[in-house]
Chain A
Amino acid sequence: MEQPTEQLSFDFKSVQPHIVSETRDEIKLELGAFAGPLDLLLFLIKQEQANIFDIPIAKITDEYLKYIRLMKTLDISLAADFLVMAATLIEIKSKMLLPREIFDEAEEEIEDPRQELIDRLLEHQKFKNAAEMLYERSTVEQAVFTRGQIESDENNLETNASVFDLLTVFQKILERHKEEIKLEIEREEMSLAEMLKHLKAKIFKAKEISLHELFQEMQTRPELVLAFIAVLELVRTENIKLLQRKTFGDVILTKV
């Protein structure tokens, strides 16, 4: 089956920034998928065929700033990370220009101002290699097919509803409330204690409450927030727990 699998292959080696076209009034720069300032630095060092342990900082800083100027038009959050690195490079460069003072002999050796950057580059390189290893592993894993889940959600009450699931339910309801246009009628505000009492009474009567229905009953946003906090509080302090009988199903509040 000779289908293209272009999606599958990342060429780790070619993930490097390079200038795509450079005409008089337009410069296009391809950043590569990693596109972090450390990647750019590694690339520049390689391009200069410099030793990572002895970076020609003045030259690399100039090169780096040249790239930064080209990237000015790019999105801000990315550029911000690059600017921080530019500042770091300039700082190192200026430190290297200063004559190194010699303290008394007991003083430990003065550290190379580049050392911290070198350490970061090496560390970054290691994790790039580790990412490549993970990618290869997942590719191999994709060649092994396992059985799907046999339908047993019904008898698996402990399907884990995490805090994130709760938040998702809550957010959905909040959004729905936002959309509704309502007449403003002043209601008496409920306190958390009242809400707890209300919920407790409710659960004693009904044994089980669907969170979805519970949140739907709430009239105002503050009430909704109170109900949410009350649910969390009940689960924490009382013999009450949250269940989800089906994946993506309703989260249910129930007495233990």
Chain B
Amino acid sequence: MDAEIEEKQSRSIGEIISIVEALIFVAGEPLTVKTLAEVLTEDKETVEAAVEELVQEYEQRESGLQIRAIAGGWQIGTRAEFHEEIRRFLKTRPSAKLSLAALETLAVIAYKQPVTVPEILEIRGVQSASAIKTLLDKRLIVAKGRKETVGRPMQYGTSKDFMIQFGLKDLSELPSIEDFEDLIQ
């Protein structure tokens, strides 16, 4: 078995790690293990091990960068601790990207997806048309087909961009909605 791999691939594990690092650096979007494996023509297990190793390396030498699992892939980014210095350099200020109404609508969609507009109205108690438009424009939500019920209303769900912007590995990383019950007295 070893000999077979040896024959097919002549790269050392160190080399694979380096290439994985280079690819993650170049990719604009989180890079999946599947894509990495395809580009490297290595099997997924090898790539997975290489990514894990890489993550460790960055952590061990307390790098200013980090490799994170986001939206089902891997992404390189700066460490959150250094945001002040980075902002000073970039001359940018953090900004609230979404209104409260949009955030609340997004929360309903994230937890109830696929969900229709009337269902959102039921929970929020307010018309959400403009919030939904904002979320669609920002590509945080996407249409997920029609519900087979009276009027065949459009259903909505969250997008990959949603996971990227909210730093989620996958949807299961969201705390359970029932956890928020504890906060209610």
Contacts and interface: CB of A to CB of B under 8 A. Distances in A.
B118 to A, nearest CB: 13
Contacts of B94: 5, 8, 139, 142-143
Contacts of B167: 137, 140-141, 144
Contacts of B37: none
Q: How many A residues are at the interface, by size bracket?
A: 35 or more
A35 B100 CA distance: 10
Residue of A33, A124, A135, A146 most packed against chain B (CB within 10 A):
A146
Given A134-B166, A148-B28, 10 more contacts: A8-B96, A81-B126, A127-B177, A128-B104, A129-B180, A131-B106, A139-B94, A143-B80, A145-B86, A147-B76
A74 interface: no
Contacts of B79: 144
A239 interface: no
A85 B76 contact: no
A interface SS class: helix
Contacts of B98: 135, 138
Given A15-B100, A131-B103, A134-B103, A8 B95 contact: yes
A81 B103 contact: no
A38 interface: yes
B53 interface: no
A214 B80 CA distance: 48
Given A37-B125, A77-B127, A126 B181 contact: yes
Given A1-B84, A37-B125, A123-B123, A135 B103 contact: yes
B87 interface: yes
Given A8-B95, A52-B184, A120 B111 contact: no
B107 A149 contact: no
A122 B126 contact: no
B106 A134 contact: yes
B184 to A, nearest CB: 5
What 10 pairs between A and B have smallest CB-CB spacing? A149-B28, A143-B83, A36-B126, A38-B125, A129-B180, A130-B107, A143-B80, A33-B100, A131-B107, A131-B104
Q: How many B residues are at the interface, by size bracket?
A: 35 or more
Given A134-B103, A141-B167, A127 B111 contact: yes
A94 interface: no
Interface in A55-111: 77-78, 81, 85
A81 B122 CA distance: 11
B101 A124 contact: no
Contact of A33 (B84, B99, B165): B99
B125 to A, nearest CB: 4
Nearest to A156: B28
Contacts of A166: none
Contact of B124 (A3, A9, A36, A148): A36
